[in-house]
Amino acid sequence: MSELRDPLQGAVDAGRLLEPARDNILFLLEETECEAWQSDSVQQLINDGQWTELNDRFYQTLQFGTGGLRGRTIGKVITEAEKGSQGENMPPEHPAVGTNMMNVFNLTRATLGLVNYIQKNFPAEPPRMVISHDTRYFSRSFAELAAAIVKKRGGTVYLVREERSTPELSFAVRHFGAHAGVMLTASHNPPHDNGFKAYFADGGQLVAPHDAGVIGEVMKINSLRVETERAGQIITVAEELDAAYLDALARLVLEPEVIQEQADSLKVVFTPIHGTGIQTVPKLLDRFGFDYAVVEDQAAPDGGFPTVVSPNPENSEALELAIEKAKFVDADFLAATDPDADRMGVAVRDGHGNYQLLTGNQIGSVIAAYRLERLFHAGVLTSGNARNAALIKTLVTTDLQKAIAEAYGVKCVETLTGFKFIGEKLHDYEQAAGGRPADADAAAWRDLLLEKSTYFVFGGEESYGYSAADAVRDKDANAAVLMFSEVAAWCKSNGQTVLDYLDSLYLKYGFYLEKLGTLTFEGAEGAAKIQRLLASYVAAAPEHYGSKPVEKIQNFETDDVFDCDGKAIPKQKMLIFHLAGGARVAVRGSGTEPKIKYYFFASKPVSGADGLAETKTQVQQLLEDLWSFTRQDVEKRTG
**Which amino acids are annotated catalytic?**
187
CA distance 526 to 429: 40
Which residue stretches of 494-522 are H helix? 498-509
The answer to whether residues 511 and 521 touch, using CB atoms and an 8 Å cutoff, is no
- The candidate with the shortest Cα–Cα distance to 452, out of 421, 468, 429, 483, is 429
Amino acid (1-letter code) at residue 68: G
CA distance 82 to 415: 42
Question: What does the CA dihedral 407, 408, 413, 418 come to, rounded to 10 degrees?
Answer: -90
Nearby residues of 463 by Cβ (< 8 Å), 6 or more positions away: 314, 343, 360, 516
The two beta strands, 128-133 and 156-160, are parallel
- Between CA 299 and CA 307, with CA 303 as vertex, the angle to 5 degrees is 55
Under DSSP, is residue 292 helix (H, G, I), strand (E, B) or coil? strand
- The candidate with the shortest Cα–Cα distance to 284, out of 251, 236, 323, is 251
- Residue 143's Cβ-count burial label (10 Å; 0-12, 13-18, 19+) is buried
Cβ atoms < 10 Å from Cβ of 138:
23
Is the omega angle on the peptide bond into residue 209 within 30 degrees of 0, that is, cis? yes
Q: What are the φ and ψ backbone dihedral angles of 282, each rounded to 5 degrees?
A: -55, -35
CA distance 360 to 357: 10
Give 501's Cβ-side CA count (13 Å radius): 26
CA distance 145 to 163: 15
- The candidate with the shortest Cα–Cα distance to 482, out of 316, 271, 283, is 283
Under DSSP, is residue 579 helix (H, G, I), strand (E, B) or coil? strand
The answer to whether residues 484 and 501 touch, using CB atoms and an 8 Å cutoff, is no
CA distance 484 to 185: 25
CA distance 435 to 456: 15
